[in-house]
Amino acid sequence: MGSGIEPKLVKANSQERVLAVLDLFTEARPQWSPEELMKELGYTRPTLYRYLKSLKDSGFVMPTRGGRYALGPRVVEMDYLSRRSDPLIATAMPHLERLSAAHPCTALAVRWYGDKTLCVASIASSVSPVSSYPRGRPMPMGRGAIARSIMAFLPKQRVMPLVARYAADLRSVGVGDTPEDILATLKRVRRAGVAIAFGEVTPGAVGIAAPILDAGYPIASLCITIAGQHANGKLIDRISSEVREAAWQISAAADMNSM
């Protein structure tokens, strides 16, 4: 019995260890040397070089000058395939086009995963777009309208770990001083169906976001960012209504299980 299970466990552990190599490549640290990887991950030299060879042969990493490694062309290929196959992008694009045509703004569809949000599609119509959410750049959940539009619709057992993890960030932007205060703010966002943030992610930008739901559970967010000089109360109310309605239509338009 043990001999039938052990190879599967070894394979699963090896896959996780290979993925751990890829997880280290970030915007802040886009290149690594083998020595740095061994120190960070604790892998032996033969093990690390075996993983690097496999990743290089499959195109996920590539060698650069100085004996370092960066993410490889396979990642770009997969990004292209994601753009072509993601049903959220196909469903959201007409709404992004309509909203960006109606306002000088950046309109975004943003997926949520783990404790991050990630822009998957955006259209900018302003001369000087104001947004820190280009496609593929992950953002933490502690700031901004996008994060709060998602957190407000999470069940308590899912939102409390995020509240605890990002309590300092949430306090710094005035969401609340205590977990109870933060939850009260999120309840108000839930009732409104839309979250609004002033300069929390991008200085000078106002973010207006509503959740995209699958059977009542948030899987993404639709957001408009506009320059602060355009953000009078009447315009914010109008955009809030339009974003809320568009997010509801996206939620209702397709099989959310495939999104």
Domain ranges of the chain: 2-76, 86-258
Average pLDDT over residues 67-90: 92
Average pLDDT over residues 212-222: 93
The pLDDT assigned to 184 comes to: 96
The pLDDT assigned to 6 comes to: 52
159 touches 217 (CB < 8 A): no
Average pLDDT over residues 130-148: 84
Average pLDDT over residues 163-172: 93
How far apart are the C-alpha atoms of 211 and 99, rounded to whole Å?
A: 16
When pLDDT is cut at 50, 70 and 90, the band that residue 205 belongs to is confident
Average pLDDT over residues 127-137: 73
**Position 53, amino acid:** K
Q: Give the containing element (helix H, strand E) for 242.
A: helix 233-253
How far apart are the C-alpha atoms of 6 and 184, rounded to whole Å?
A: 48
222 touches 198 (CB < 8 A): no
200 Cβ contact partners less than 8 Å away, ≥ 6 residues apart: 143, 144, 145, 173, 207
Largest CA distance in the chain: 69
118 Cβ contact partners less than 8 Å away, ≥ 6 residues apart: 110, 111, 112, 136, 137, 138, 139
117 has pLDDT over 60: yes
User: Between these two residues, 1 and 71, which has the higher pLDDT value?
Assistant: 71
How far apart are the C-alpha atoms of 158 and 143, rounded to whole Å?
A: 17
Average pLDDT over residues 46-62: 95
When pLDDT is cut at 50, 70 and 90, the band that residue 139 belongs to is confident
When pLDDT is cut at 50, 70 and 90, the band that residue 40 belongs to is very high
12 has pLDDT over 80: no
CATH class of 2-76: mainly alpha
Residue range 86-258, CATH number: 3.30.450.40
User: Distance from CA of residue 120 to its chain's centroid?
Assistant: 8
DSSP state of 193: T
How far apart are the C-alpha atoms of 160 and 179, rounded to whole Å?
A: 8
Percent of the chain with pLDDT over 70: 90
Q: Give the containing element (helix H, strand E) for 249.
A: helix 233-253
256 has pLDDT over 70: no
The pLDDT assigned to 2 comes to: 47
| 176-188: pLDDT as tens digits | 999 999 999 999 9
The pLDDT assigned to 107 comes to: 94
The pLDDT assigned to 136 comes to: 83
**Closest of 138, 93, 135 to residue 113, by C-alpha:** 138
**Position 132, amino acid:** S
